[in-house]
Chains A and B, each alone.
Chain A
Amino acid sequence: MDRAVSRGWNLSWLALFLVLGATSSLWAHAILKESTPALNSTVKGPDFDITLRYNVRIDGVRSRVRLVAPDGTVSTLTLASQPSPDTLQTHAAGLNPGAYKLQWQVLASDGHMSRGEIPFTVN
Chain B
Amino acid sequence: MLLKLVDLFAFLSVILRAGTLVFQSVLLGGVLFVLWVARTSSEVPNDSIARIQASSWRLLRISAVGLAVVQMLYLYVNSAALMVTAEIGFDGVIGANFFISGCIVLTAALMTAVVASGNKNVAKYALPVLAVIVMGASVMTNHAASRIEGRPALIALSCIHELATGFWIGGLPFLVLGLYRAKDLTTQWYVTERFSRMALVSVGFLVISGAIMSVLYIGSWNGVLGSAYGVMVSAKVLMLAALLLLGGVNFLLLRNTSKENALPRLRRLIEAEVGIGITVILTAASLTSQPPAVDQVSETVTMHQIYQRIKPVVPRLTYHYLEEASGPDPGTEAAGTGAAPQTQPVYNVDGVPLTTRLINNSIESESNHHWMGLVVLAMGLLALLARTGKAPWAEYWPLLLIGIAIFIFLQADTECWPVGWKSFGACWADPEVFQHRMAALVCVGFAIFELRVRQRKREGGGMALVFPLMCAIGGAVLLTHSHAITNVKENLLVELSHVPMGLIAVFAGWARWLELRLPEENRAIPSWIWPFCFVLIGAGLLNYREM
Most B C-beta atoms less than 10 A away, residue of A20, A63, A76, A86: A20
CB distance from A35 to the nearest CB of B (A): 15
Do A11 and B282 touch (CB < 8 A)?
A: no
Tell whether A26 pairs with B14 under 8 Å between CB atoms, given A19-B480, A63-B86, A115-B85.
yes
CB distance from A112 to the nearest CB of B (A): 6
23 contacts between A and B (CB under 8 A): A1-B177, A5-B180, A5-B462, A8-B469, A11-B466, A12-B275, A19-B18, A19-B279, A19-B282, A19-B477, A20-B15, A22-B476, A23-B282, A24-B480, A25-B7, A25-B14, A26-B483, A27-B485, A33-B295, A59-B97, A62-B96, A105-B86, A113-B10
Instruction: Note all chain A residues with C-beta closer than 8 A to B302.
Output: none
Determine if A101 is an interface residue (Cβ-Cβ < 8 Å).
Answer: no
Determine if B118 is an interface residue (Cβ-Cβ < 8 Å).
Answer: no
Do A27 and B7 touch (CB < 8 A)?
A: yes
Instruction: Note all chain B residues with C-beta closer than 8 A to A108.
Output: 146
Most B C-beta atoms less than 10 A away, residue of A59, A61, A62, A85: A62
Determine if B481 is an interface residue (Cβ-Cβ < 8 Å).
Answer: yes
Do A29 and B291 touch (CB < 8 A)?
A: yes
Q: State which of B271, B291, B466 has its C-beta within 8 Å of the C-beta of A28.
A: B291
Instruction: Note all chain B residues with C-beta closer than 8 A to A28.
Output: 290-291, 485
Instruction: Note all chain A residues with C-beta closer than 8 A to B146.
Output: 29-30, 56-57, 108-110, 112
Determine if B296 is an interface residue (Cβ-Cβ < 8 Å).
Answer: yes
Determine if A6 is an interface residue (Cβ-Cβ < 8 Å).
Answer: yes
Instruction: Note all chain A residues with C-beta closer than 8 A to B150.
Output: none
Instruction: Note all chain A residues with C-beta closer than 8 A to B466.
Output: 11
CB distance from B223 to the nearest CB of A (A): 14
Do B476 and A110 touch (CB < 8 A)?
A: no
Do B290 and A113 touch (CB < 8 A)?
A: no
Do A26 and B10 touch (CB < 8 A)?
A: yes
Residue of A nearest to B289 (CB): A26
Q: State which of A16, A61, A85 has its C-beta within 8 Å of the C-beta of B148.
A: A85
Q: 1/0 contact trace for A30-68 toward B, CB 8 Å?
A: 110100000000000000000000011101011110000
Determine if A111 is an interface residue (Cβ-Cβ < 8 Å).
Answer: yes
Query: Given the complex of chains A and B, what is the CA–CA distance between A34 and B278 in angstroms?
Result: 38
Determine if B385 is an interface residue (Cβ-Cβ < 8 Å).
Answer: no
Determine if A88 is an interface residue (Cβ-Cβ < 8 Å).
Answer: no
Determine if B22 is an interface residue (Cβ-Cβ < 8 Å).
Answer: yes
* In the complex, the 9 A-B pairs of residues with the closest C-beta atoms, listed nearest first: A111-B98, A7-B462, A24-B482, A25-B11, A4-B462, A56-B146, A55-B295, A26-B289, A109-B146
Query: Given the complex of chains A and B, what is the CA–CA distance between A55 and B295 in angstroms?
Result: 6
CB distance from A31 to the nearest CB of B (A): 5
Determine if A102 is an interface residue (Cβ-Cβ < 8 Å).
Answer: no
Do A111 and B97 touch (CB < 8 A)?
A: yes
Do A15 and B472 touch (CB < 8 A)?
A: yes
Do A21 and B15 touch (CB < 8 A)?
A: yes
Do B95 and A110 touch (CB < 8 A)?
A: no
Instruction: Note all chain B residues with C-beta closer than 8 A to A105.
Output: 85-86
Query: Given the complex of chains A and B, what is the CA–CA distance between A25 and B289 in angstroms?
Result: 8
Residue of A nearest to B292 (CB): A55
Besides A18-B473, A18-B477, A111-B78, 6 new A-B residue pairs in contact (Cβ under 8 A), listed by A number = A1-B177, A19-B473, A19-B480, A20-B19, A22-B476, A113-B85
Query: Given the complex of chains A and B, what is the CA–CA distance between A86 and B151 in angstroms?
Result: 13
Q: Once A and B bind, how many residue pairs between them come within 8 Å at the CB atom? A: 159
Do A62 and B82 touch (CB < 8 A)?
A: yes
Do A31 and B295 touch (CB < 8 A)?
A: yes
CB distance from B15 to the nearest CB of A (A): 5
Instruction: Note all chain B residues with C-beta closer than 8 A to A2.
Output: 180
Determine if B461 is an interface residue (Cβ-Cβ < 8 Å).
Answer: yes
Instruction: Note all chain A residues with C-beta closer than 8 A to B286.
Output: 23
Residue of A nearest to B3 (CB): A115
Query: Given the complex of chains A and B, what is the CA–CA distance between A111 and B7 in angstroms?
Result: 15
Query: Given the complex of chains A and B, what is the CA–CA distance between A40 and B483 in angstroms?
Result: 25
Instruction: Note all chain B residues with C-beta closer than 8 A to A5.
Output: 180, 271, 462
8 Å CB interface, B122-142 against A: 140-142
Do B148 and A27 touch (CB < 8 A)?
A: no
Q: State which of A31, A57, A64 has its C-beta within 8 Å of the C-beta of B147.
A: A57
Do B462 and A23 touch (CB < 8 A)?
A: no
Determine if B81 is an interface residue (Cβ-Cβ < 8 Å).
Answer: yes
Instruction: Note all chain A residues with C-beta closer than 8 A to B12.
Output: 25
Tell whether A7 pairs with B10 under 8 Å between CB atoms, given A23-B481, A110-B97.
no
Do B143 and A8 touch (CB < 8 A)?
A: no
Tell whether A109 pairs with B97 under 8 Å between CB atoms, given A11-B469, A15-B469, A21-B15.
yes
Determine if B187 is an interface residue (Cβ-Cβ < 8 Å).
Answer: no
Determine if B285 is an interface residue (Cβ-Cβ < 8 Å).
Answer: yes
Q: 1/0 contact trace for B139-181 toward A, CB 8 Å?
A: 0111101111000000000000000000000000000010010
Do B14 and A23 touch (CB < 8 A)?
A: yes
CB distance from B364 to the nearest CB of A (A): 22
Most A C-beta atoms less than 10 A away, residue of B86, B145, B278: B86
CB distance from A12 to the nearest CB of B (A): 7
Do B473 and A31 touch (CB < 8 A)?
A: no
Residue of B nearest to A53 (CB): B148
Q: State which of B92, B101, B278 has its C-beta within 8 Å of the C-beta of A62.
A: B92
Determine if B325 is an interface residue (Cβ-Cβ < 8 Å).
Answer: no
Do B461 and A3 touch (CB < 8 A)?
A: yes
Instruction: Note all chain B residues with C-beta closer than 8 A to A30.
Output: 146, 291
Residue of B nearest to A24 (CB): B482
